[in-house]
């Protein structure tokens, strides 16, 4: 699979369809999850669907990023990471700030580069995950077991920090780092072993079991799955909060493994769209936030609404994954226009 710099900074000659398939499904779930967020209080099925998705979709995405991440320092790596992650972050931070100013009729235009707008936290965290990976693997040379234990411990401990948790995506960086680190330590054979029929059946049943369990659980805050809130903000007794975060880690890792066992291995009709997931991630917010601010309600039947939103999310994901969008947007996302040149040459 070709490795974009947001994943590693390294290029391979042949793509792995498996990961492109997984990335497309995951980015669709990201769009779909954001699309139903404003409606989840209307029906327990919507809420359960939302919470089940949030247990694994970003952790799985982050694990893929870690799988393709470079863990050894090379000259120019930091500059490359700044160019490919922080520069686009600053560009889109400005664009989204201006967009929200007009969309929400704000009185003041406040540009704050230290607090990522909505989904832009991922770019900032990707930068710091890459640095943490270098620290753990290349500098400290930790064994994988010790590294995983320390990363999970940091993810638990960050919950006690009450201030500045959103600044430069501090909380999410540490909460989700174990998935990035785990992805780095996994090899391709691990994913291949997940594709047996027995594992797939077990995985499907596991996801169903989690869905049913969430449905019948007492009300609990979905914010636990965001990784961006302190234990005090979440309102859970401090002494129980670390155990709850560890439980969430366990369920998330389990569902991530289940997801990868169910992801198609061979080339599919949607494989090609898994190449441009970054563009979907960066641009879908303009549509989703407009939808939320518009005040559109649900259809009479919430399940019909679920299907409508799902279909609309799929169409939006496919459109934003297209080569046309990628070619047009690449200059501000990747600071080059190679995709546009390639399209012109093909014509």
Q: Does residue 224 sit within a domain?
A: yes
Q: Does residue 12 sit within a domain?
A: no
- In three-state form (DSSP H/G/I as H, E/B as E, the rest C), the secondary structure along 37-83 is HHHHHHCHHHHHHHHHHHHHHHHHHHHHHHHCCCCCCCCCHHHHHHH
Name the residue range of residue 129's domain: 17-346
CA atoms within 13 A on the CB side of 59: 26
DSSP alpha helix (H) spans, 68-134: 77-81, 87-103, 121-133
Residue 138 gets which letter from DSSP?
I
Task: Report how far residue 334's alpha carbon sits from residue 318's, in angstroms, rounded to the nearest whole number.
Answer: 20
CB 121 within 8 A of CB 107: no
CB 140 within 8 A of CB 157: no
Q: Smallest Cα–Cα separation from 3: which of 130, 141, 109, 166?
A: 130
Q: Does residue 183 sit within a domain?
A: yes
Q: Does residue 304 sit within a domain?
A: yes
Q: Does residue 338 sit within a domain?
A: yes
Q: How far is CA 55 from CA 217, 270, 279, in A?
A: 15, 24, 23
pLDDT in tens, the chain (347 residues): 444 333 333 333 478 999 999 999 999 999 999 999 988 988 898 999 999 999 999 999 999 999 999 888 888 999 999 999 999 999 999 999 999 999 988 778 889 999 999 899 999 999 999 999 999 999 999 999 999 999 999 999 999 999 889 999 999 999 999 999 999 999 999 999 999 999 999 999 999 999 999 999 998 999 999 999 999 999 888 899 999 999 999 999 999 999 999 999 999 999 999 999 999 999 999 999 998 888 776 666 777 888 889 999 999 999 999 999 999 999 999 988 888 888 777 76
Token pair of 134, please?
Answer: 């270098």
Rg (CA), the chain: 20
Token pair of 142, please?
Answer: 């930790």
Looking up tokens 């518009």, which residue turns up? 294
Q: Does residue 9 sit within a domain?
A: no
CB 191 within 8 A of CB 260: yes
Q: Does residue 5 sit within a domain?
A: no
DSSP alpha helix (H) spans, 267-337: 277-294, 302-320, 323-333
**Quick one: residue 74, left, alpha or beta (phi over 0 = left, psi -120 to 50 = alpha)?**
beta
The structural domain count of the chain equals: 1
What is the reported pLDDT for 117? 94
């Amino acid at each position: 699979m070709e490795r974009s710099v947001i994943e590693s900074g390294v290029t391979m000659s042949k793509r792995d369809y498996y990961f492109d398939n997984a990335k497309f499904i995951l980015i669709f779930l990201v769009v779909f999850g954001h699309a139903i967020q404003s409606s989840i209080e209307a029906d327990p099925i919507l809420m359960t669907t939302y919470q089940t998705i949030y247990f694994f979709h970003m952790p799985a995405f982050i694990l893929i990023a870690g799988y393709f991440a470079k863990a050894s320092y090379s000259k120019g790596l930091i500059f490359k990471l700044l160019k490919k992650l922080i520069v686009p972050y600053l560009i889109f931070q400005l664009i989204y700030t201006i967009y929200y100013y007009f969309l929400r009729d704000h009185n003041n235009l406040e540009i704050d580069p230290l607090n990522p707008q909505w989904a832009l936290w991922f770019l900032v965290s990707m930068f710091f995950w890459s640095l943490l990976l270098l620290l753990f693997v290349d500098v400290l040379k930790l064994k994988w077991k010790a590294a995983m234990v320390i990363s999970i411990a940091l993810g638990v401990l960050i919950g006690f920090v009450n201030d500045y948790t959103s600044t430069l995506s501090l909380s999410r960086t540490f909460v989700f780092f174990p998935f990035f680190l785990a992805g780095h330590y996994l090899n391709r054979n691990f994913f291949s072993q997940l594709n047996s029929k027995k594992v797939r059946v077990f995985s499907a049943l596991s996801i169903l079991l989690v869905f049913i369990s969430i449905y019948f659980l007492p009300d609990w805050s979905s914010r636990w799955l965001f990784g961006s809130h302190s234990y005090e903000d979440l309102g859970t007794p401090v002494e129980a909060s670390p155990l709850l975060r560890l439980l969430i880690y366990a369920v998330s890792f389990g569902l991530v493994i289940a997801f990868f066992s169910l992801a198609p291995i061979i080339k599919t009709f949607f494989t090609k769209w898994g190449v441009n997931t970054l563009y979907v991630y960066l641009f879908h917010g303009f549509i989703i936030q407009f939808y939320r601010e518009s005040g559109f309600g649900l259809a009479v039947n919430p399940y019909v609404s679920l299907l409508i939103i799902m279909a609309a999310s799929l169409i939006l994901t496919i459109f934003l994954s297209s080569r046309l969008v990628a070619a047009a947007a690449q200059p501000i996302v990747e600071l080059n226009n190679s995709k546009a040149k390639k399209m012109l040459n093909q014509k």
